[in-house]
Amino acid sequence: MAAEIDPGSAQGGASGAPPFGSEQRDAMEQLSQNLARAAFTAQSAMLQAVSRQPGQALKLNTDPMGVAPAMAEVMGGLASHPDRLMRAQAELFAGYMNLWSAATLRALGERTAPVASPDKSDKRFKDPDWSANPVFDILKQSYLLTSGWMNALVGGVEDVDPEAKRRVEFFTKMLTDAFSPSNFLLSNPAALKAALESKGESLVRGAEQFARDMERGGGQLAISLTDVDRFEVGVDVATAPGKVVYRNRLFELLQFSPTTETVHEVPLLIFPPWINKYYILDLRPENSMIRWLTGQGFTVFVTAWVNPGPELKDVTFEDYVREGAFEAIAQVKRQCATEQVHAVGYCIGGTMLSTALALMAQEGEGSVASVTFFAAQQDFSEAGDLLLFTNDAAMAGIESRMDAAGGVLPGMAMADTFNMLRANDLIWSPFVNNYLLGKAPTAFDLLFWNSDQTRMPKTLHLFYLENFYRQNRLAKGELELAGRRLSLGDVTVPVFAQAAEADHIAPYRSVYRGLRLFGGPVTFMLAGSGHIAGVVNPPGAQKYQHWIHRDEHLPDTVEAWRANADEFPGSWWPRWMDWLKPQSGGQVPARDPAAGPLEVLGDAPGEYVKVRS
């Protein structure tokens, strides 16, 4: 309701009050100045971006993911069933009629139930004005009706190529997410309120953050998910004490200091993914898996992969197997004077480790006592939405981008791909927060790690995408390495595998399919949450849950496995220890990293992990 105005006050009566409107005029003037300042800042950032990349507009690929052919096929499928299209249009029209009817009744003072409501997990419309203000409520419900209709329309298409349909579904969802009214200043009540209350200062701050993000991205928008200046690797994160005991061109080998007087005889070697930094396993002391494992009496090693530059553009997948997995295992055995190690592979590190084990089996190498996988795939036939980024058009775009960068895929490209899988959370939410609301990004260690991506060497990355995602050769027994055709059936060491129920990068169905290819005993464990929290879930947090099957046999399908799996609250880490410790030999005196035969090259976390892309 508008405030009532005393006509007399406009003349500055006996009360001595200032003439009506002076404060309002000052506020409007300040708002106008800040709007102009914000616009100028944003435009300057855009002009600088264009000047830094001359000719890029002429080279712009308007369809880098090859959506157009898939869209044409899906639209053809719609057109071939006009009756379904007419029914869908009638349903949308009926939805709008119901919405306008409800809006009319509300205007007359009656209470009405919403015609369309956001999902409970949808944070875009949490501001009260999205429901309290009739105008914004209609905007919200209109958007929900239309976006829901578009996504359902595409999802209901039949008799088309499943891959084409999936591609169109994904990008239709991306499109409808992008056009949410919450992403625009004039249709976002929280952003408008912030602009008015701050007299435009929020927009100035947003424009300045936009300019900084454009500068940080080298002319491309790199949305800040967190305050990266609040963290330093080795000081705020990656703080578990230890030493660098070996280094080659691909990795530094970190050995962490023991925290128990004795340790298990068989040491533990972790291969994290080389597309991320290892310290997701050592963010804070209270959730550090590395600290927890040393507390369990293990000698813990980790490969801290190099952040490669153009000089490593020709490094191959076989190089990562030989100079990475094989070499790290050999050095750990030397340092600990043992014949075997326990090996752990996380995500793509697990895929590489699986390949290495298959090659070891053929070469008669028995240095691995057991293997554990965290969210690692061997069979990529159900690898989720990442498969959408490996068609011919996408591969050509990736190769072109790597060539432009000197033979490496920039870390930001990897971050952009993963962020697209959760666009509302990792793109649009920070977009609104940073630029429309003008809020500073929060200091969050997990998001700092998420933004600390590494580059990918061209030869390695193209081999990985082609042979695993596109051709699925490891699962088919067709992958050749070092002149040998590899089979996971040759791998007979005990396997413990974790997957996460809500993992969108390594879907648990995909993980399960791969596990059935191994030739030895396999224990499968399903955890709650996703790709990160499903792995990094310390017992002290008392969060989520996990499922274990009632026997060691893996049924033909994961659905059959789940039907006979028992659910347990909390972390799965102790369950893993129950499996691992009996295979780890007797107790030996704790191993000081500085007391072994390998030369200490520096303190953990080393130098490779500190190189930012």
SS3 category, 540: helix
CA-CA distance, 501 to 535, in Å (whole number)?
A: 11
The owner of tokens 């069933």 is: 81
Cβ-contact 529, 537 below 8 angstroms:
yes
What is the C-alpha radius of gyration for the chain, rounded to an integer number of angstroms? Answer: 28
CA-CA distance, 253 to 382, in Å (whole number)?
A: 33
Q: Which of 347, 376, 475, 604 is catalytic?
A: 347
Cβ-contact 341, 369 below 8 angstroms:
yes
Number of helical H runs and strand E runs in the chain: 23, 17
Q: Does the annotation count 336 as an active-site position?
A: no
Which DSSP string do the residues of 47-116 spell out, in sequence order? HHHHHHSTTHHHH--S-TT-HHHHHHHHHHHHHT-HHHHHHHHHHHHHHHHHHHHHHHHHHTT-----SS
The owner of tokens 């790290």 is: 328
What is each CA distance from 266 to 297, 324, 521, 582, in whole angstroms?
A: 10, 20, 19, 11
251-256/587-589 β-pairing: unpaired
Sign of CA dihedral 368, 371, 376, 377: positive
Residues 6 or more apart whose Cβ sits within 8 Å of residue 249: 306, 312, 315, 323
Provide the strand spans (E) within 375-431: 408-409
CA-CA distance, 53 to 500, in Å (whole number)?
A: 41
Q: 503: which 2 tokens?
A: 């993992």
Catalytic residue ranges = 347
